[in-house]
Chains A and B, each alone.
Chain A
Amino acid sequence: MGRRVHLLAMPVPVISCALIAWTLGQHEAGTQVYLEVWSWVPSLGLDMVLLVDGLSLFFGLVVSGMGVLIFWYAGAYLDDHYAEHNRFYSYLLLFMGAMLGTAFGGNLLFLFIFWELTGISSFLLIGFLYGTKEGQSGSRMALLTTVFTGLVLMAGVALLGLQVGSWHMRDILAADLGAMDAGMAAGLLLLFAIGAFGKSAQAPFHFWLPNAMSAPTPVSAYLHSATMVKLGVFLSARMFPVFVEHELWAPVLAGVGFTTLLIGSVFAFFSHKLKAILAYTTVAMLGLFIGFYGIALTTGARFDFMHILNHTAYKGALFMVVGIIDHATHQKYITQVGGLWRRMPLLGFITIVCAASMAGIPLTSGFISKEYLLTELYRFYESPVGLPGWLPLVFSVVAFAFMAAVGIRLVWHIFFRPETKEVAEHFHHPGLMIHLPPLVLAVATLTFGIFPALFGPLLQGLATPGLQQALDPEYTFKLWHGINAEFLTSMAILALSLPIFGAAQALGWRWDGIPRYLMLDLAFEKGVYALPKGAARVSQLLRAESPLDYIPLIAVTLSVFTGGYLLLHLETLHLAEAVAALPDTFYKQHLFVATLITLASFGIVLARRWTTQLIFLSTVGFLITVYFVLYQAPDLALTQILIETATLILILLILDRFPRSIQRGQRTMKRSGARKALNIGVSCAVGGTMFLLTYGAILRKEEDYIGQFFLDNTVDLAKGSNAVNTILVDFRGFDTLLEIAVLLIAILGAMGLIMRYRRNPAELEEAEFAAGGFSMRGHSEKEEK
């Protein structure tokens, strides 16, 4: 199929987009509909429930709508230089499914499963170019960060579900934090917040998103600007009704969010790598959204979808633009591109519109969004909750100024400065098809910017109970609100951005990006590498790499803990009475066999020659057969005698092949006396422990043991009178099935040991030196010579 495979994948986002749009048409605004699809694991309360409300429809639309554009874009972007297109689109579709599952999840556990699935598919997509070092480290970083924070979220999900008594979203959203223990409520909020922060790359997890940019650009545009990283925002919105009244909600979300906004925009300004610039602005905007929910009124947020939609449109388009530039010039750094206006005016137009939207210049949707944001910020300034009122406002103004400067820089450097020699050398026109998706987004940005009234019906249709204040049906979005505080601030931001840009321009942008230690990713990498080192240190401490020292360690631990405990409670075993009563309970055959087994086992230790040892070992085995008979176990006796025979044959076969001197035990290294004493001591300790353990276990035998069930039912249920056999093939048949599988696996492993052995020709020449019987040459070969 090659690259044409995207035609096969394309219908999926188109159809889902159409279906979600149709659902939106059917949906009655301000309601929540639960579709109970399937009871998956009823005992855990894990059901497939779909929740259809404004929030899920909005995210569903964003995911599938961007999906259509991205699949189109990827079809043009991933040319024949890339291999394995089918793998790429499979991952992309997996991701889209996971996103939709998260958005529409109506059961918190169900939602969490899909939440983690997005993390995994994101890992696969970031690591799509797994041959590159960036791909490897970036995907690992993304996976570890999102999975670690995902685990934190899982703790929150589990705890909240246990507190509420159900994971159904209807019950979850009705949860009353006030009725819970204060510490529990605060803990839940923090757990959910960390989950959201990790996914949305909020400080201090902001390091993974720029590193995730090693993915192909469609992935960056889709996952890391438009959809997946917005899951943290989504979670904040989803859990908004539950947590908003908690006193920690505003400080945690707004504090972290607006800090990230500031950090992200400053970092974006100081970066030189095109994708890193966009990644940091994305981090900043995500911080803004999360902070926005933090400062929202407890009665509900206002116009939040408008901000998200606006960001999705211009940032997605900018990512696509960067991808096109990469495609056309093979340059990844803004310092290396320039003067592209002459060559790609259409791309220049798209970039100007989107950068203007980012900077908040009138006639773009970014301006509208910024006006409404500033309204919220001023409202919070006047009536702050849990956080100094000036903080969000000041942080935002500074951050917006930096972001506007970034927008100016993007347009100016890429398009309007003299052409660089890298561009001149590498440029080839990427074709018109690839321009279409960003163009659609740019046109949308312009349309909504010029006719903001279009937002009205959209937001009204998507109103979500609990999350948003009901919008007045008469309310219309206007472009011009008169000269008010918001407008003046907006202009001030733009005015502030010009000196920032000018100063950097005067300095010639001569710095090497952001200092590495501020990005935290190096520290993270070091931590990742320190883990195995620490583990190695621990196993070194335990001498795990040297089995000869490790086995005594295990044996001593067993003896000390188990044996020590038993010794402390020795009186419960009534040993003295048992010894006194021994003559009465004397059982002659029993004692006789036990004595013989003991003698034979001592023989194994004392004998030097292997064959002698083996004979003693077999004697023990066959005597145990008699023991089985005494214990009324005919099946065991039969099996033991046959297996003992097979073992004897097997070991004789192998021992016979060793050189005689080894067989006599002459080549074994001598141990020191101390070591010998230690061995004897450890063995005796283990023996004593096992004696006490076994004796204690026998004493505690209950009269109504489990086995009685099998005896009672073997004839009725299993239609067989041999209870041992019915347990094996009927009651516990599955165990037996797996056991014979183990048999097969053991032989396969043994064959592997033999089969994977090769010798080189020189060794074949040296075969005479090899031990008797181990020669690679068959004796037939020898006879020929």
Chain B
Amino acid sequence: MTTQTSIIFQRITLIVFFIANLVAVYLLLRGHNFPGGGFIAGVATAVSIVLLSFVSGVESLSRFFRVDPIRIATVGLLIAVLAGCLPLLVGKPYLETFNWKWYDVPVIGEFYFGTPLIFDVGVYLVVVGVLVKIVFTLMTSTFNLAEVMRKEASLYASPLEEPIEEHPVVGSDIFDKEAAAAAENRQRAQGAGESKTPPETGMKTTEAPAPEPPRAEDKPDSEKP
């Protein structure tokens, strides 16, 4: 996203980003005793990151963070599950909690730590990862879906995977003409095999039903982009 943004917006966004994240961490840490917690903090961080992406663009932000947000979410879930497993080590039931409180710690005074906090951090990470992933995917895919799919496929696709759906966009009264032309072109492209000759457009074939083209699954590989 390389939209022009005003310098004021950029500056304010940066400031808001840091403040929002400070607040988020504050909410996360005090969640056990005061309003706050993993969910709220996670949403706050996610919204601030999305705000930042409006300024710097999703691509540069992704480059900066390097990690795919969905991995953050996965790690979060893992942390939450493992935090639940901790009590098993001492023979307590799953998700049993332990809390410690020190009252006379230098500098910060009262200090609190408990396994619920670890769990909450997991929740926080899941919420952040999921929200950021949703918004980023939507932002980039509406501009360049092919690019998003390439990137995701390079990250996660199994080498055995094949696209399962591949069908023309036909059937809407709004785009019938164009879609029918597209279908006609596809038929021609199929007939011409791999040839790259641009198909003729403007064929009035709206009324003529296509003669039983193969189902989506049966198409030969040559057609795949």
A and B directly contacting (CB within 8 A): yes
In contact, A740 and B43 (Cβ under 8 angstroms): no
Chain B residue with minimal CB distance to A763? Answer: B182
Taking the complex as formed, is A743 at the interface, i.e. its CB lies under 8 A from any CB of chain B?
Answer: yes
Taking the complex as formed, is B211 at the interface, i.e. its CB lies under 8 A from any CB of chain A?
Answer: no
In contact, B37 and A728 (Cβ under 8 angstroms): yes
Chain B residue with minimal CB distance to A774? Answer: B142
Surface stretch bound by B, among A82-90, A113-121, A649-657: A649-657
**Which of B35, B73, B182, B183 has a CB less than 8 Å from the CB of A743?**
B73
Taking the complex as formed, is B215 at the interface, i.e. its CB lies under 8 A from any CB of chain A?
Answer: no
**Which of A645, A654, A728, A747 has a CB less than 8 Å from the CB of B70?**
A747
Taking the complex as formed, is B138 at the interface, i.e. its CB lies under 8 A from any CB of chain A?
Answer: yes
In contact, A744 and B74 (Cβ under 8 angstroms): yes
Taking the complex as formed, is A756 at the interface, i.e. its CB lies under 8 A from any CB of chain B?
Answer: yes
In contact, B181 and A766 (Cβ under 8 angstroms): yes
**Which of A653, A755, A774 has a CB less than 8 Å from the CB of B153?**
A755
In contact, B225 and A769 (Cβ under 8 angstroms): no
**Which of B32, B50, B70, B119 has a CB less than 8 Å from the CB of A649?**
B50
| Chain A: number of interface residues, binned into ranges | 35 or more
Taking the complex as formed, is A765 at the interface, i.e. its CB lies under 8 A from any CB of chain B?
Answer: yes
Q: Shortest Cβ distance from B122 into chain A, in angstroms? A: 7
What residues of chain A lie closer than 8 Å to B114, measured between beta carbons?
A: 719-720
**Which of B77, B94, B101, B165 has a CB less than 8 Å from the CB of A740?**
B77
What residues of chain B lie closer than 8 Å to A759, measured between beta carbons?
A: 166, 169, 225
Taking the complex as formed, is B18 at the interface, i.e. its CB lies under 8 A from any CB of chain A?
Answer: no
**Contact A741 to B77, CB < 8 A, known contacts A645-B47, A756-B163:** yes
Chain A residue with minimal CB distance to B46? Answer: A646
Chain A residue with minimal CB distance to B174? Answer: A667
Chain B residue with minimal CB distance to A639? Answer: B40
What residues of chain B lie closer than 8 Å to A766, measured between beta carbons?
A: 178-179, 181-182, 185
How many Å lie between the Cα of A734 and that of B85 in the bound state? 11
Taking the complex as formed, is B22 at the interface, i.e. its CB lies under 8 A from any CB of chain A?
Answer: no
In contact, B35 and A635 (Cβ under 8 angstroms): yes
What residues of chain B lie closer than 8 Å to A649, measured between beta carbons?
A: 47, 50, 135
Q: Interface on chain B toward A: helix, strand, loop, or mixed SS?
A: helix
What residues of chain A lie closer than 8 Å to B137, measured between beta carbons?
A: 750-751, 754
Q: Shortest Cβ distance from A670 into chain B, in angstroms? A: 13
Taking the complex as formed, is B57 at the interface, i.e. its CB lies under 8 A from any CB of chain A?
Answer: no
How many Å lie between the Cα of A757 and that of B145 in the bound state? 9
In contact, A760 and B181 (Cβ under 8 angstroms): no
Q: Shortest Cβ distance from A646 into chain B, in angstroms? A: 6
**Contact A757 to B143, CB < 8 A, known contacts A722-B36, A729-B123:** no
Taking the complex as formed, is B149 at the interface, i.e. its CB lies under 8 A from any CB of chain A?
Answer: yes
Q: Shortest Cβ distance from B92 into chain A, in angstroms? A: 13
A-B Cβ contacts below 8 A, count = 209
Chain A residue with minimal CB distance to B222? Answer: A761
Taking the complex as formed, is A638 at the interface, i.e. its CB lies under 8 A from any CB of chain B?
Answer: yes
Query: Chain B, 143-164, contact with A by CB distance < 8 Å: what is the 0/1 string?
Result: 1111111001100000000011
In contact, A719 and B99 (Cβ under 8 angstroms): yes
- The listed residue with most A CB atoms (<10 A of its CB), out of B39, B50, B181, B183, is B39
In contact, B39 and A639 (Cβ under 8 angstroms): yes
Taking the complex as formed, is A132 at the interface, i.e. its CB lies under 8 A from any CB of chain B?
Answer: no
Q: Shortest Cβ distance from A636 into chain B, in angstroms? A: 9
**Which of A718, A733, A760 has a CB less than 8 Å from the CB of B223?**
A760
Taking the complex as formed, is A25 at the interface, i.e. its CB lies under 8 A from any CB of chain B?
Answer: no
**Contact A722 to B35, CB < 8 A, known contacts A756-B164, A763-B186, A779-B143:** yes
Chain B residue with minimal CB distance to A768? Answer: B178
In contact, B142 and A635 (Cβ under 8 angstroms): no
**Contact A777 to B144, CB < 8 A, known contacts A653-B135, A743-B126:** yes
11 new A-B pairs (CB below 8 Å) besides A720-B99, A757-B145, A781-B144? Answer: A635-B35, A646-B47, A646-B50, A657-B142, A718-B116, A722-B37, A725-B120, A760-B223, A761-B225, A769-B175, A776-B145
**14 A–B contacts from the bound complex (CB under 8 Å):** A638-B40, A639-B39, A642-B47, A646-B131, A728-B37, A728-B39, A750-B137, A754-B149, A756-B163, A758-B225, A759-B166, A761-B189, A762-B189, A769-B178
Nearest 7 pairs of A and B residues by beta carbon:
A778-B144, A719-B99, A720-B32, A769-B178, A634-B35, A642-B43, A762-B185
